[in-house]
Amino acid sequence: MSSLKRPRRRTARTAAVGALAAAACATVMTGGAGAIVNGSDATERYPFMAVIPISAPEAGLTDGNCGASLIDRQWVLTAAHCVRGEGIEPAGTVRIGSGHRKSGGTVRRIDRTFVHPGYANGDDKAANRNDIALIRLDRPVTERPIEIAGQPGPPGTPTRLLGFGTTVEGEYAFPDRLRQLDARRGAASACAPGYADRTRLCTISTVPRAMACHGDSGGPQIRRDRHGRWQLIGVTSGPGTPNVPCTQGPGLYTSAPAYTHWIAHTMRTNSPDSPS
């Protein structure tokens, strides 16, 4: 993606920087997203929600973050551009299970990161591809992981976006408390041509002028299963339309269900207990 800039454009790098969700961290969502603009304070506890402290000094960001989701006691899932972005400097820790950005929950060190081998950072005219990465924590946590859904659901499926991204579009104004936004799956045609596909979910806010933005990158898009339990369907990646403010276009989310085989294989072959 393009080089890091102050939050005047939404690029996956800026989202990471502001985030950098950035939905629902390194080049702000290139399409990128931040704490959800025009969202609301979280209405319940999300033990699987994780936040990754990040800085991007060249972009003027010294206290940013990306989101992530706990999918195993020792693994979190995030966006690739949150851990492999030009100018991005992860602090080396992850906070899990807290409703506050800088306190509570469980803090673990980042042991190793695994970026999808097909990851390609987009630019102002293209979306990120294979924007997904795994982080292995140095020790397991006691918080309950979220299950990855078997399918993301058809267009129109109600979803929810979570994040600590900016609450003010165009600024690095990260909230202390976790924010949420109700949304729905959109048809691929609701995003710009070539943006959404089987691996990238077009997402529409159900609230006017609201969407994930800088700092929300890597965070979860979730939906309820038939028993009312939250399942993970998306990873905040960037905007679904180029060159528009976060709140004036759809969001683009990497489909977690589309990468279950890569996720399972990576975790299995890189488990701390697996033979070296």
Which of 37-41, 56-60, 151-155, 247-251 has the lowest average pLDDT? 37-41
Residue position matching structure tokens 């905040």: 236
- DSSP code at position 151: S
Averaged pLDDT for residues 111-116: 98
**Which of 26-35, 118-127, 163-172, 194-203 has the largest mean confidence?**
194-203
- Res. 71: pLDDT tops 80: yes
Question: Average per-residue pLDDT in the chain?
Answer: 85
Cα–Cα distance, 105 to 53 (Å, whole number): 14
Q: Judge residue 269's burial from the number of C-beta atoms within 10 Å of its C-beta, 0-12 exposed, 13-18 middle, 19 or more buried.
A: exposed
- Res. 76: pLDDT tops 80: yes
- For residue 275, name the pLDDT band (cuts at 50, 70, 90): low
- Identify the CA nearest to 12 among candidates 220, 252, 249, 180: 252
Residues 45-268: name the CATH superfamily.
Trypsin-like serine proteases (2.40.10.10)
Q: How far is CA 185 from CA 2, 7, 214, 241, 267, in A?
A: 28, 26, 21, 15, 28
Averaged pLDDT for residues 80-85: 90
Residue ranges per domain, the chain? 45-268
Cα–Cα distance, 208 to 259 (Å, whole number): 31
Q: Name the percent of the chain lying above pLDDT 70.
A: 86
- Identify the CA nearest to 80 among candidates 35, 126, 37, 27: 27
